[in-house]
């Protein structure tokens, strides 16, 4: 069984947004948490705590993989809303189109890992916080109630938002591709 954690970073110094996703076997996820010597049930509150954990964190095992996607969701949606003002386009349609475009762009990377286990992406057990829940539900991902393991994906997204790199994280900038897709769908 594969588990995944997803989390969005808030807007950072450059007003960028990142989505961190970590996928792996439960055994390897628990090994990393044990190595970090932290309790997932106690939220990380300070920048100092996050920095310390990020400096220890690395994804160098074959049964776990981490991605950080630059997605700038708020900026792209705001541009699309401004462009469609006065039309009959609803914000719900804009959000859904953005989420479908994001799904299409990240699916190949995620599937390349999950298919090694003969598991489709929709069979992976996803955990996330409220930032990603609508995205997962819209796309019919298998969402599980929080066990607070999603703090690993939070660390991945948070560190990229502050230009701090974590060893072994696969980074992808999807901003241009997302903007092209939104411009294609919502031509003015």
Distance of CA 111 to CAs 53, 64, 94, 122, Å? 28, 13, 25, 10
Asked if residue 180 has pLDDT above 90, the reply is: yes
pLDDT single digits (tens) 14-64: 667 999 999 999 899 889 988 888 877 776 768 888 888 898 999 988 899
CA nearest neighbour of 29 among 137, 125, 111: 125
Asked if residue 11 has pLDDT above 70, the reply is: no
- CATH number of the domain residue 121 falls in: 3.30.420
State the SS3 of the chain: CEEEEEEECCCCCCCCCEEEEEEEEHHHHHHHHHHHCCCCCCCCCCHHHHHHHHHHCECCCCCEEEEEEECCHHHHHHHHHHHHCCCCCCHHHHHHHHHHHHHHHHHHHHHHHHHHHCCCHHHCEEEECHHHHHHHHHCCCEECCCCCCCHHHHHHHHHHHCCCCCECEEEEECHHHHHHHHHHHCCC
Domain with 173, as residue range(s), is 2-185
pLDDT single digits (tens) 48-60: 888 888 989 999 8
pLDDT higher at 170 or 122: 170
Report how many domains make up the chain: 1
């Amino acid at each position: 069984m594969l588990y995944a954690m997803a989390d969005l970073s808030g807007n950072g110094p450059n007003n960028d947004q990142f989505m961190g996703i970590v996928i792996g076997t439960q055994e390897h996820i628990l090994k990393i948490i044990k190595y970090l010597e932290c309790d997932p049930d106690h939220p990380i509150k300070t920048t100092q705590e996050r920095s310390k954990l990020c400096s220890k964190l690395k994804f160098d095992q074959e049964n776990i993989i981490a991605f950080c996607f630059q997605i700038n969701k708020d900026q792209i949606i705001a541009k699309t809303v401004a462009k469609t003002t006065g039309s009959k386009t609803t914000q719900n349609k804009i959000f859904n189109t953005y989420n479908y475009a994001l799904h299409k762009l990240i699916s190949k990377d995620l599937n390349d890992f999950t298919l090694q286990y003969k598991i489709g992406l929709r069979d992976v057990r996803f955990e996330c916080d409220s930032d990603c829940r609508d995205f997962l539900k819209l796309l019919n991902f298998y969402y599980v109630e929080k066990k607070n393991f999603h703090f690993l994906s939070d660390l991945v997204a948070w560190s990229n938002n502050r230009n701090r790199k974590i060893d072994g994280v696969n980074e992808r900038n999807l901003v241009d591709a997302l903007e092209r897709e939104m411009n294609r769908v919502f031509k003015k």
